Amino acid sequence: MKEKALKLFYEGKVRKEFETPERIHFTVSSSTDYPVIYDKKKGWSCSCKSFSIKGIDCAHIQACKLYLQNSTIENLSKKEKERTKRAFLNLKLINEKGKDLLNYAKSYYDDANYFLSKGLYIEAFELYSYVWGILDSLARLNYIDPGKSKKDFKVDQD
């Protein structure tokens, strides 16, 4: 069932129709259109035969869960992009020993932006995190000065 859910999700078969404070309504297009509802108090329901007979999450519900998870990762990735962009704008190389690593960080940042543009939010988020590991290390080694972005770095946060 998980393979079918992944296929539905990646093929764009999940549509979020609308959201109220109590529920989120989806339509999943499979062999037919299946309404899926996430009730924030009662949980998930689907109009398909599999859900009504087995009472467990069907592929349609699993695809909607993937959709919601992806939306959260998308927002986090976009926030990380802006935070990382600010860091690059504000930092200053103060020791040439860090130049190669800083170039690697910039290259990974470009890769993350590419993944973000393609809707590959998990991959983008992973790379932004990796960039921050490099930048934090460079700052700790006194190879870069974070400048105005110092609050975003782990330096002096012991």
pLDDT at residue number 64: 95
Beta strands 92-93; 144-145: pairing state: antiparallel
pLDDT exceeds cutoff 70 at 158: no
Q: Which helix (H) or strand (E) holds 88?
A: helix 59-90
pLDDT exceeds cutoff 90 at 70: no
pLDDT at residue number 1: 63
Structural domain contains residue 84: yes
DSSP calls for 97-133: GGHHHHHHHHHHHHHHHHHHHTT-HHHHHHHHHHHHH
Tell me: do 82 and 47 sit in the same domain. no
Structural domain contains residue 158: no
pLDDT at residue number 65: 94
Residues 144, 138 contacting (CB under 8 angstroms): yes
| The total number of structural domains that make up the chain | 2
Which tokens in the block code for residue 143? 């190879």
How far, in Å, are 94, 100, 137 from residue 141 at the CA level? 10, 14, 6
How does the average pLDDT of the chain come out, rounded? Answer: 92
Tell me: do 109 and 133 sit in the same domain. yes
Tell me: do 86 and 42 sit in the same domain. no
Percent of the chain with pLDDT over 90: 77
Evaluated on CA atoms 93, 146, 137, 132, the torsion sign reads: negative
What are 87-110's pLDDT values in tens digits? 999 999 999 999 999 999 999 999
Residues 61, 77 contacting (CB under 8 angstroms): no
> How many Å apart are CA 30 and CA 1, to the nearest integer?
13
pLDDT at residue number 157: 54
pLDDT at residue number 125: 94
> How many Å apart are CA 158 and CA 80, to the nearest integer?
22
What are 15-57's pLDDT values in tens digits? 999 999 999 999 999 889 999 999 999 999 999 999 989 988 9
Which residue(s) pair with 100 in the sheet?
none
Tell me: do 132 and 92 sit in the same domain. yes
Has this prediction a pTM greater than 0.85?
no
Mean pLDDT of 63-90: 92
